[in-house]
């Protein structure tokens, strides 16, 4: 079933029937520990990005809920993108996200597209009439792309890489993101001599091997963030310390293998 529809003409203030209107509530801005930092998109690039993202098979955004022990996230799927609004379906089906949006405005959302993370803050207008928990958002005026000095490569689920037996989500020359059910790791914790397992990389069509796989050791890494999503905790790890030349070469060869796979796949 296709949930996304594109409509060129839309006025969310007049054209939507709300079962609950949040605009009449007394709401204060949600307080997040970190500001929205990064590259602010132009209005034209923002519109192109949102249209591309929402035309995916499953355009999922994350609502960030600030907590003392680290931010949590709730998943929402975009059902419709309008000229001034977004309709998003709550995939968590819990009351906490709805209560949070009733209590605070604006709130922060994020999403991933083409190996980049984008964040924005906007007003949740209310709940649309119907059986499903679909919320109406004002289209954000500002969307920020995270800054990166090194390209990040998505690994999971195509490539099974692990750090200390925890699944690696993505990786770059400066760090990686991993997830697990272990909630004990906290912001600014230090990992020493963590075992990193890098998988083989093959061409999608010819099955030529661009990288044969390796087990290396990360001398030191620092947890840069913690984000809870459902039963999993997602952590960012920044590489630190001096790496042996052999480990640096292995990581660089792995990233080169990923680049080759992407390049030759795009030529098809």
252-261 pLDDT, tens digit each: 999 999 989 8
Task: Say which residue, 33 or 52, is predicted with more confidence.
Answer: 52
Structure tokens at 132: 């499903």
pLDDT at 77: 95
Residue 6 CA from chain centroid, whole number: 23
The string of DSSP codes covering 61-98 is EEEEE--TT-EEEEEEEEEEE-SSEEEEEESS--HHHH
Nearest to 246 by CA among 208, 221, 223, 219: 219
| Cα–Cα distance, 165 to 178 (Å, whole number) | 10
Structure tokens at 216: 């290396």
pLDDT at 109: 97
pLDDT at 267: 55
* 36 pLDDT tier (thresholds 50, 70, 90): confident
Nearest to 109 by CA among 47, 30, 177, 176: 30
For the residues 237-247, what does the mean pLDDT come to? 92
| pTM tops 0.75 | no
pLDDT at 10: 42
Radius of gyration of the chain (CA): 20
Main-chain phi, psi angles of 119, to 5 degrees:
-135, 155
Neighbours of 105 (CB within 10 A): 20
* 15 pLDDT tier (thresholds 50, 70, 90): low
For the residues 24-52, what does the mean pLDDT come to? 92
Structural domains in the chain, sorted by start = 5-145 (2.30.110.10), 153-266 (2.40.10.220)
Structure tokens at 139: 């289209």
Mean pLDDT of the chain: 88
């Amino acid at each position: 079933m296709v949930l996304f529809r594109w409509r060129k003409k839309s006025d969310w203030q007049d054209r939507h029937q709300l079962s609950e209107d949040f605009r009449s509530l007394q709401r204060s801005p949600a307080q997040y520990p970190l500001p929205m930092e990064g590259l602010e998109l132009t209005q034209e690039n923002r519109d192109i990005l949102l249209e591309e993202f929402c035309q995916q098979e499953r355009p999922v955004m994350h609502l960030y809920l600030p907590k003392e022990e680290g931010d949590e996230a709730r998943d929402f799927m975009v059902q419709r993108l309008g000229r001034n609004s977004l309709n998003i379906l709550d995939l968590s089906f819990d009351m906490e996200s709805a209560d949070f949006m009733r209590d605070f405005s604006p709130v922060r959302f994020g999403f991933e597209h083409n190996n980049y993370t984008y964040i924005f803050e906007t007003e949740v207008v209310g709940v649309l009439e119907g059986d499903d928990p679909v919320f109406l958002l004002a289209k954000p005026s500002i969307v920020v792309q995270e800054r990166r000095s090194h390209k990040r490569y998505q690994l999971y689920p195509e490539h099974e890489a692990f750090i200390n037996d925890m699944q690696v989500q993505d990786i770059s020359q400066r760090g990686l993101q991993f997830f697990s059910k272990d909630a004990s790791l906290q912001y600014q914790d230090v990992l020493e001599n963590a075992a990193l397992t890098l998988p083989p990389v093959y061409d999608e069509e010819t099955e030529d091997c661009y990288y044969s796989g390796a087990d290396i050791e990360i001398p030191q890494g620092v947890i840069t963030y913690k984000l809870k999503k459902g039963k999993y905790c997602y952590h960012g790890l920044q590489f630190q310390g001096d790496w042996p030349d052999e480990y640096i070469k292995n990581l660089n060869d792995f990233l080169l293998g990923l680049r080759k796979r992407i390049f030759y796949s795009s030529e098809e």
